[in-house]
Chains A and B, each alone.
Chain A
Amino acid sequence: MYSFEYHNPASQKEAEELLASTDNPSLLAGGQTLLPALKHRLAEPSDLIDLKGIDGLSGIREENGAIVIGAATTHCEVSESELVAKRIPALAKLAGGIGDQQVRHRGTIGGSVANNDPAADYPAGCVGLGATIRTNRREMGADNFFVDLFETALGEDEMILAVSFPIPDQAAYIKFPNPASRYALVGVMLSKTGGDVRVAITGAGSSGVFRDSHIETALSKDFSVDAIDGSGVDEAEISADIHASAEYRKHLIGEMARRAVEAASGS
């Protein structure tokens, strides 16, 4: 790891000042992705600004028909939250399936969303539930937030404060984990709110999380397992690597979406 200066600001204002005044800062939340990356010298920030000491940045509450989760809330806290389990059980399940228990004790929603790993679970959770990302500058719909692999719409001086998930009528998250790494080869977050159906896919897009409009259209006409005749995405836009071909991933999208409909209908 290259050396850096560590800061532990107590307020959002102090963190913003550090962001503005330091050379090449990185925000530190749970560190479960950032610290391994630093160990491999994949990045060389001059300063690490720890967000965990900031008051009010972690916690879960219900607000105007939405579940609002503070950026520094850990995956474990989301997975164990009674409120989340009651209002959006699919989200509690998603959080409980990220990484392993030790990672879930440290890793945070803000960190995961800001990192936008193409195989991470939360990007699909945000897009599939139509979440809003709240930063210190603005609010952004998840559809516009995730830009490309490991790239988001966040500006340099911007930090995520919370993610707000509207409570759907029905939702389910189903993933097919790589048997070795347990990362999602394909993960599908499906939600239905009135006549509006959202189907977001992680693990498969060559530019990260995406919505499968073919499946969405089919399900908004007929919300049933049989309505899905496979993914409508062009294979050229699906990633292929040693773990799975594009063709296989495309097949998994249809299959996971069917299981998600089944799971959402059962809840």
Chain B
Amino acid sequence: MPTVSMAVNGKDVSGEVEGRTLLVEFIRKNLRLTGTHVGCDTSQCGACVVHVNGRSVKSCTMLAVEAEGATVTTLEGLVKDGKMHPMQEAFRDQHGLQCGFCTPGMVMSTIDLLRVNPDPSEAEIRDWLEGNICRCTGYHNIVKAVQQVASGDAA
């Protein structure tokens, strides 16, 4: 079995995997980081979004072995000194979640949006969220949460 090594949330980790082990399986099962969700098997829902080498990707559509040597950030890695990331705070402020299943992916995806586009229009936010599906909120408050972070205002 191949061994894979990567840095996850600032820690060097390694483990034995099969060739077919998905990155999300490695994250959830080997590392026990269950903040990253799996909501589909068709690469459509985005619940599994993590950052690999600084860019958002679907960890269900990547093999663990493809992340060899990579720097990975999951939702758990956003919390610094017990303080949530501003995007997480904004989702709470704006009621950007209901059941919360899609939220990890939404947060990771929208943080990446603000990396490339710090001041997105509403249309740009909605366009960026094409790969993230939410069954509950209707997206409206998710968009507001992103706008809150972009504008730098607390609620």
Seen from chain A, the residues whose Cβ lies within 8 Å of a Cβ on chain B are 1-6, 8, 31-32, 35-36, 38-40, 48, 50, 52, 76, 99-103, 105-106, 182
Say how far A7's CB is from chain B's closest CB, in angstroms: 9
Say how far A44's CB is from chain B's closest CB, in angstroms: 11
**Complex A-B: 22 CB contacts under 8 Å:** A3-B20, A6-B2, A6-B65, A36-B41, A36-B43, A39-B41, A48-B19, A48-B63, A50-B66, A76-B55, A99-B131, A100-B46, A101-B56, A102-B46, A102-B57, A102-B109, A103-B58, A105-B56, A106-B57, A106-B58, A106-B61, A182-B130
In the complex, the answer to whether B49 meets A102 with C-beta atoms within 8 Å is yes
In the complex, the answer to whether B55 meets A105 with C-beta atoms within 8 Å is yes
Known: A52-B66, A182-B130. A102 touches B58 (CB 8 A): yes
Residues of A within 8 A of B2 (CB): 6
Known: A36-B43, A40-B41. A31 touches B109 (CB 8 A): no
In the complex, the answer to whether B61 meets A35 with C-beta atoms within 8 Å is yes
The listed residue (B66, B68, B113, B132) touching A31 by CB distance below 8 A is B66
Q: Scan B105-123; emit 1 where CB is below 8 A from any A CB, else 0.
A: 0000100110000000000
In the complex, the answer to whether A35 meets B130 with C-beta atoms within 8 Å is no
Bound together, the chains give a CA A38 to CA B46 distance in angstroms of 18
Say how far A97's CB is from chain B's closest CB, in angstroms: 10
Seen from chain B, the residues whose Cβ lies within 8 Å of a Cβ on chain A are 2, 18-20, 22, 41-43, 46, 49, 55-58, 61-63, 65-66, 68, 109, 112-113, 128, 130-132
Known: A5-B19, A6-B2. A35 touches B42 (CB 8 A): no
In the complex, the answer to whether B62 meets A36 with C-beta atoms within 8 Å is no
Residues of A within 8 A of B128 (CB): 101
Residues of A within 8 A of B68 (CB): 8
Name which residue of chain A comes closest to B48, CB basis: A102
Say how far A27's CB is from chain B's closest CB, in angstroms: 14
Bound together, the chains give a CA A3 to CA B49 distance in angstroms of 24
Name which residue of chain A comes closest to B58, CB basis: A102
The listed residue (B19, B55, B61, B131) touching A4 by CB distance below 8 A is B19
Residues of A within 8 A of B18 (CB): 3
Name which residue of chain B comes closest to A76, CB basis: B55
Say how far B17's CB is from chain A's closest CB, in angstroms: 9
In the complex, the answer to whether A2 meets B20 with C-beta atoms within 8 Å is yes
Bound together, the chains give a CA A122 to CA B43 distance in angstroms of 20
Bound together, the chains give a CA A48 to CA B20 distance in angstroms of 9
The listed residue (A1, A50, A105) touching B57 by CB distance below 8 A is A105
The listed residue (A100, A105, A106) touching B130 by CB distance below 8 A is A100
In the complex, the answer to whether B131 meets A101 with C-beta atoms within 8 Å is yes
In the complex, the answer to whether A36 meets B61 with C-beta atoms within 8 Å is yes
